């Protein structure tokens, strides 16, 4: 396995913006991107030309050894008190992370009911009463014209 110089890798990738810029139309072209990565690999690897096609096309052989959620194992030095029931299981060794019971849950504060002072409530009552009287006044004033006509007719 060969060691990659990170500065050279960064320079080569920055020279090809379609490898990382999603707004460019070439970003969605798989063939162009594969050819660009092959060019970068040729510049970084000394023995690229000596590799066979299987070795050139093999990607990420180290992933087979990577830990997944299926192959985690609990260390053997766990104290016996933590191995009893699932409720007492130590979340430090859990691949799923902390459970909902151990997460801090914050509730949104409830809105306070607005309280009005006695002065404000009196003003509101007066305004309501005025609007009620105004309705009565306007109704009576609308009848005045018709009443005057009735007096003149008789």
Per DSSP, the three-state class of 154 is coil
| In the block, residue with structure tokens 């299987």 | 54
| Sequence ranges of the domains in the chain | 6-65
Percent of the chain with pLDDT over 90: 8
Q: Is the pLDDT of residue 119 over 60?
A: yes
**Confidence band (pLDDT; 50, 70, 90) for 4?**
confident
Q: Is the pLDDT of residue 73 over 70?
A: no
Per-residue confidence (pLDDT) for residue 142, from 0 to 100: 85
CB 51 within 8 A of CB 74: no
Non-local (6+) Cβ contacts of 45 within 8 A are 2
**Confidence band (pLDDT; 50, 70, 90) for 124?**
confident
Q: What pTM does this model have?
A: 0.36
Percent of the chain with pLDDT over 70: 61
Per-residue confidence (pLDDT) for residue 32, from 0 to 100: 92
- Tell me the average pLDDT across 124-131: 79
Per-residue confidence (pLDDT) for residue 100, from 0 to 100: 55
- CA 129 vs. chain centroid, Å, equals 52
Quote the CA–CA distance of 91 and 72 in Å, as a whole number. 13
- CA 145 vs. chain centroid, Å, equals 68
Per-residue confidence (pLDDT) for residue 38, from 0 to 100: 85
Per-residue confidence (pLDDT) for residue 71, from 0 to 100: 56
CB 95 within 8 A of CB 89: no
CB 43 within 8 A of CB 8: yes
């Amino acid at each position: 396995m060969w060691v990659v110089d990170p500065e050279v890798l960064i320079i080569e990738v920055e020279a090809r913006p379609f490898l990382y810029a999603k707004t460019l139309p070439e970003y969605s072209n798989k063939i162009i991107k594969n050819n660009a990565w092959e060019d970068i690999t040729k510049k970084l690897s000394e023995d690229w030309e000596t590799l066979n096609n299987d070795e050139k096309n093999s990607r990420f052989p180290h992933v087979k050894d990577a830990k997944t959620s299926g192959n985690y194992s609990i260390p053997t030095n766990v104290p016996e008190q933590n191995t009893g029931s699932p409720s007492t299981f130590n979340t430090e060794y859990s691949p799923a992370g902390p459970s909902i019971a151990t997460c801090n849950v914050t509730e949104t504060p409830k809105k306070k009911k607005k309280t009005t002072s006695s002065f404000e409530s009196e003003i509101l009552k007066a305004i309501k009463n005025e609007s009620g009287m105004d309705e009565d006044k306007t109704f009576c004033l609308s009848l005045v014209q018709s009443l005057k006509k009735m007096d003149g007719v008789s």
